Chains A and B, each alone.
Chain A
């Protein structure tokens, strides 16, 4: 829409605004330096580091079992999947094979975590755009998943349940039945989400055509997860490089080609449906087996480098461990999905309005502790 520069004799100047660290519309402590001209944005520069806690440095003084609880706090909405990434890397280094029971339980809990994360994303997305009731509906459903986790793992947000070698203790006897009840309940609620927000004409007008990201740009900036899948780049690690029990379940990969915010929204809604179908395929026959493979009390990885990647709710998380044979790792690096997704923001925000920037950031689903570590 050419609605700027109508009168070319009038000179406007750009001014500089700080969308500061404390903010009602940002998803954490993110500082964006905006250069705007009237209502049109000319440049966005993110300024990170407000929640940097040096997790990677702390990993260098901890033993391998103690690293796991630090990754809970990186992307706290998909904490189980982060734990799974570190456990898989350590198990790759020790070359032990966990039992089927552990694999299936890890997959089920990972998919429940993905559901919880997407529920919170949906609630916050409505809230950012002005429909304030969506937040409460999403949290009502998310609390049910938190109750399931509280019964099995003992905590609701930072659940340190996976250990290298398996699980910390067995699942609670009520786990299977509670999960089934939750799936039955949520299958009736997800169409309600669609009726409230997805088809709404105001919502569609604010999201369609906003924040266009082409497939080439997504590949060249390294965007992964729903951001890339909304632009047509098939990057689901669960299909390309399957881990845990993903090679024996059957699910579709959510892929849309338009590249705007509405496509990313639809990707996440479809991922919620697919997660429910994965859980339903696995929940009824959890095989028997060992809960934890025996490892030494002091784990020492052999010398070398080990890398493992998983698909969190935000994209691809990669864990790199460089070990020199001692009981602490020499260097741990996390390739966080949010960091690469954030680098796209400047490129796609040139020439849009401020309200569109808010909608785009909501569709990217940033969790800032994941970016800052």
Chain B
């Protein structure tokens, strides 16, 4: 039963290759996979919004949306309909090309980053040998989208918000990169499927490199939450004393792009954490080893949802940081600890003290 989707995929693949010449067939296959990822992107984005609302409600002693469909599962479809039907207008004297172009940059960056993740042993769209490095490089393109959105809006508060967001993102990318680097020291390879292979034989990476790996995980969670502009680092969008930040002037579908991209970024950060620290699609203690794609992607999804729940827990408990406290946290606390941790991990590997 598990092999039915695999058989379907193989049949479709053979069929496309049989009716078209080689190059065109490969191209068609790429387009099909890209469409599949777009659909996955939309569904994941929409249902993460609903999950956030329900989880927030349960922290706050109330029930979430439960009128539209049982347990509110059609709520985000209603929200999406509302966003699509809003009027899109151009404010005067904006830079028209950049104003329309900025949301697409953010979406494209998130989509490219989602393409390298291994959802299961057979389902990985793009398995290159510099996987982690590619991921990290592509997620930096999203910053440009935010800055462009703020600049092109011709609004001084949007510009201030965009500058603050850009500042926050480029500072915390350092911490994210260094903590990823700490774990790559353990695996010795940058390719994502190889990293999971190392974890299959030796145990999850967070257990293999004990103390330095746990410190690296904590730093990664803090820096990852700051990367996606979520609370407690959300002075960009929730410090609405002066405006709504860089997406003040956007409405309707363009606003929906920024909004969805934030949730997809959360998914990406959680996926990186799961792949690098918690073993990707592997089951704990090898329970369902060998059964193909279905339990494996389920394990992946469950682990990612747990990490996303942790990020939501941060959001609904802590107050916001001020902008200078944010930068103090990064440059005076996280970065030195990260560098020292890297050295400790190198020493642990050299002296063969890993588990």
Task: Please determine if A and B sit in direct contact within the complex, based on CB atoms under 8 angstroms apart.
Answer: yes
From A39, A126, A137, A354, contact of B61 by CB (8 A): A137
| Chain B contacts for A133, CB-based, 8 A | 59-60, 316-317
| Chain A contacts for B156, CB-based, 8 A | 15
From B232, B241, B317, contact of A354 by CB (8 A): B241
Bound-state CA distance A334–B290 (Å) is: 79
Bound-state CA distance A23–B319 (Å) is: 19
> Are the CB atoms of A355 and B235 closer together than 8 Å?
yes
| Chain B contacts for A356, CB-based, 8 A | 322
- At the interface with chain B, which of A166-174, A196-204, A211-219? A196-204
Q: Known contacts A355-B235, A355-B239; is A203 also within 8 Å of B319 by CB?
A: yes
Mark interface residues in B299-328 (1 if CB within 8 Å of A CB, else 0): 000000000000000001111111111000
The answer to whether the Cβ of A58 comes within 8 Å of any Cβ in the partner chain is no
Bound-state CA distance A122–B16 (Å) is: 64
From A15, A130, A135, A353, contact of B232 by CB (8 A): A130
The answer to whether the Cβ of A5 comes within 8 Å of any Cβ in the partner chain is no
Residue of B nearest to A128 (CB): B319
The answer to whether the Cβ of A206 comes within 8 Å of any Cβ in the partner chain is yes
The answer to whether the Cβ of A17 comes within 8 Å of any Cβ in the partner chain is yes
The answer to whether the Cβ of A205 comes within 8 Å of any Cβ in the partner chain is yes
Bound-state CA distance A202–B240 (Å) is: 19
Residue of A nearest to B62 (CB): A136
Mark interface residues in B26-59 (1 if CB within 8 Å of A CB, else 0): 0000000000000000000000000000001001
Return B90 CB to nearest CB of chain A, in Å. 25
| Chain A contacts for B325, CB-based, 8 A | 202, 205-206
Return A329 CB to nearest CB of chain B, in Å. 42
Return A30 CB to nearest CB of chain B, in Å. 13
Bound-state CA distance A23–B232 (Å) is: 21
Bound-state CA distance A205–B324 (Å) is: 11
> Are the CB atoms of A355 and B61 closer together than 8 Å?
no
| Chain B contacts for A17, CB-based, 8 A | 242
> Are the CB atoms of A1 and B317 closer together than 8 Å?
no
Return A173 CB to nearest CB of chain B, in Å. 30
The answer to whether the Cβ of A3 comes within 8 Å of any Cβ in the partner chain is yes
Return B332 CB to nearest CB of chain A, in Å. 13
> Are the CB atoms of B320 and A129 closer together than 8 Å?
yes
Bound-state CA distance A133–B241 (Å) is: 20
A interface residue count range (under 10 / 10 to 19 / 20 to 34 / 35 or more): 20 to 34
From A136, A200, A353, contact of B318 by CB (8 A): A200
Residue of B nearest to A132 (CB): B316
Bound-state CA distance A303–B252 (Å) is: 66
Return B330 CB to nearest CB of chain A, in Å. 14
| Chain A contacts for B320, CB-based, 8 A | 129-130, 202, 206, 355
Residue of B nearest to A201 (CB): B318
| Chain A contacts for B234, CB-based, 8 A | 130
> Are the CB atoms of B319 and A3 closer together than 8 Å?
no
Return A327 CB to nearest CB of chain B, in Å. 49
> Are the CB atoms of B238 and A130 closer together than 8 Å?
yes
| Chain B contacts for A200, CB-based, 8 A | 318-319
> Are the CB atoms of B231 and A130 closer together than 8 Å?
yes
Interface residues of B in 172-190 (CB under 8 A from A): none
Mark interface residues in A13-41 (1 if CB within 8 Å of B CB, else 0): 00101010001110000000000000100
From B56, B239, B241, B318, contact of A202 by CB (8 A): B318
The answer to whether the Cβ of A270 comes within 8 Å of any Cβ in the partner chain is no
Q: Known contacts A3-B324, A17-B242, A25-B240; is A126 also within 8 Å of B317 by CB?
A: no
Return A351 CB to nearest CB of chain B, in Å. 14
Supply 10 further A-B pairs (C-beta < 8 A) apart from A133-B317, A202-B325, A354-B241.
A15-B156, A19-B241, A39-B323, A130-B234, A130-B320, A131-B319, A132-B56, A136-B62, A140-B61, A202-B319
B residues adjacent to A (C-beta < 8 A): 56, 59-62, 156, 231-232, 234-235, 238-242, 316-325
Q: List 17 A-B contacts (CB under 8 A).
A: A24-B240, A25-B241, A129-B319, A130-B232, A131-B316, A133-B60, A133-B317, A136-B61, A200-B318, A202-B318, A202-B321, A206-B321, A206-B325, A354-B242, A355-B239, A355-B323, A358-B241
